[in-house]
Structure 1
Amino acid sequence: MSNITVIGLGIMGLPMAKNLVAAGHHVTGFNLSQDRIDELVAAGGHGAGSIAEAVAAADVIITMVPDSPDVAAAVRGDDGIFANAKADALWIDASSIRPDVAAELADEARAAGLRVVDAPVSGGEQGAIDAVLSIMVGGTEADFASALPVLEAVGKTIVHVGPSGAGQTVKAANQLIVAVNIQALAEAILFLEAYGVDTDAALKVLGGGLAGSKVLDQKGQKMLNRDFAPGFRLALHNKDMGIITAAARQAGITIPLGAHVAQLVGSTVQQGDGGLDHSGLFKLTAAASGRN
């Protein structure tokens, strides 16, 4: 089994690290807040006081941090991964960042003597807890093959989608689909409630037909209960929608629904709801109709 370091023990990174421990790997974690490191240690992992310390003996390094600048900060500099990881270590970036940044950092990683894949994930907190994440991987065939045994400890659907940056491109498309589905689900639930329909029964039958989706399965009840405890925060989805809209503009394509939903997601964040689960987009939809 490998010596694996996980940088970023947040909503997704911590359960992923715990599953790697359960799979028999020697797992070291680093996080900006000590309590998350302590939780990993309690689960059988190990903690480190810096990135440099965390990666020194690692065969595999996984980063799971919020945004492109956070990944860049973790890998560059005297205390970063590139300067302190041993030669031929495998860096797996599971963060969701800009595809062009992923490709740029992959080139830097190879120049530093590392192997690298971008491997963003989908499935939310519960998918991370249950080790059933969908993982879209960019990089060489050889590096994908090296990463696969590690990724199989945290995910269920793991697909090599192309060269460095391709994983992030597919993740951006994933976030576009998810955001539009969440908005459509919010509107449907508001519509059902306006007519006094048994919403639990309605979602059950809708889930069995063509309208069924994982978004409906995982977010429908949260909207009914007005329970927006974060599994994936709106602030992060707002960041992702910025990635997809910018990338679409760069490619010269239009995404009318995506652009509109991106504005709605951005509005929720500007109104102070960025810490809510992305199903909290329902709040904005309800408020537009004078409901709550």
Structure 2
Amino acid sequence: MTDLAFIGLGIMGAPMARNLVRAGFTVTGYDLDAAAVARLAEDGGKAAGSIADAIHGAEIVITMLPADPHVEAVVLGEGGVFETIKPGTLFIDFSTIKPETSQKVAEAGAHQGVRVLDAPVSGGEAGAVNAVLSIMAGGIRADFDAAKPVFDAVGKVAALVGPHGAGQVVKAANQLVVGGTYALVAEAIVLLEASGVDARAGLDVLAGGLAASRILELKRESMLARDFRPGFRIDLHHKDMGIVLDAARQAGVSLPFGHQVAALVQAARAQGLGDSDHSALLSVVERLSGREGN
């Protein structure tokens, strides 16, 4: 058994922490939401009243936080992880943030003798609940190997993709592809329905051919039903598209379709869909075609 601290028990962090408990780890959790901490304790974890309490005695410290400001505050800020963490501890950040923020965290960790991995995940809430997340890690091989039991408990696929910050670049690429695929599936639905075609039958055919994708497999029924209950919210994808465009600027490359996808996601937020699933891009495409409510 290994003692873990898990900080950030939100829509992704809570099921991930629960799966680590089920895998046999001793998990002490902390979150600003006391109810989330209490639920972890009910699931067999331990409750902490502060970051320092959570990481006391932990061999591995994990964070799963919404965005860059939260990571900077919780990890690097006053009363944060790096004020208390001991040298030699393995620190894994599952948050999706800018590559340069992950690099900043890694540099701070190196000054304190802390081993650091950035390890953003893909798979949404369902992937977290079912422990089938895809994990893209940045760091060094020895630390990745040490983290393997953790990755195996929460995910299906894990890969070391490069140095510190590389995991975030791969996650940005993932969100670019996911957002673009949702946008194109949305356009396909609008085209099929406006043409008087059986959209369900049409998408079934697409899902069995070269156009097949995980999104078509898992989301075509809910999109046809206009069921946009959040598995991954538009607000979060908006944040991620900002990371995509920022990474493109840093790399000096042009992502013309990426800018269009970012604009569609922004339009969804402007239309009040921020708390809806990112498949709600269908609503944006419908409004562009004057077909909302059809």
For Structure 1 versus Structure 2, the TM-score category normalised by the shorter chain is over 0.9
- Equivalent residue for 1:284? 284
Does residue 17 (structure 1) correspond to residue 17 (structure 2)? The answer is: yes
Matched ranges for 1:227-242 at <5 A: 227-242=227-242
Between Structure 1 and Structure 2, how many residues are aligned?
292
- Equivalent residue for 1:221? 221
Shift in Å, 1:250: 2.2
**Matched residue of 2:77: which SS?**
coil
**Counterpart Cα distance in 2 of 1:286 and 1:58:** 50
Does residue 85 (structure 1) correspond to residue 71 (structure 2)? The answer is: no
TM-score normalised by the chain length of structure 2: 0.96
**Matched residue of 1:220: which SS?**
helix
Structure 1 residues 31-86: Cα deviation after superposition (integer angstroms, max 9, x where no partner): 12122222212211121111111111211111111111111111123411101122
Shift in Å, 1:220: 1.7
Give 4+ residue runs of structure 1 displaced > 4 Å after superposition: none
Does residue 166 (structure 1) correspond to residue 157 (structure 2)? The answer is: no
**Counterpart Cα distance in 2 of 1:291 and 1:54:** 51
- Equivalent residue for 2:121? 121
- Equivalent residue for 1:97? 97
What code does the residue aligned with 1:140 have? I
Structure 1 residues 160-193: Cα deviation after superposition (integer angstroms, max 9, x where no partner): 1011000001101111111100100111111122
What code does the residue aligned with 1:226 have? R
**Matched residue of 1:226: which SS?**
coil
Shift in Å, 1:113: 2.2
- Equivalent residue for 2:39? 39
Does residue 186 (structure 1) correspond to residue 186 (structure 2)? The answer is: yes
**Counterpart Cα distance in 1 of 2:88 and 2:279:** 41
**Matched residue of 2:91: which SS?**
strand
**Counterpart Cα distance in 2 of 1:143 and 1:181:** 33
- Equivalent residue for 2:206? 206
Does residue 253 (structure 1) correspond to residue 253 (structure 2)? The answer is: yes
Identity among equivalent positions (%) equals: 53
- Equivalent residue for 1:51? 51
- Equivalent residue for 1:132? 132
Shift in Å, 1:225: 1.5
Shift in Å, 1:291: 2.0
| Structure 1 unaligned regions, length at least 5 | none
Shift in Å, 1:272: 2.1
TM-score normalised by the chain length of structure 1: 0.97
Shift in Å, 1:203: 2.3
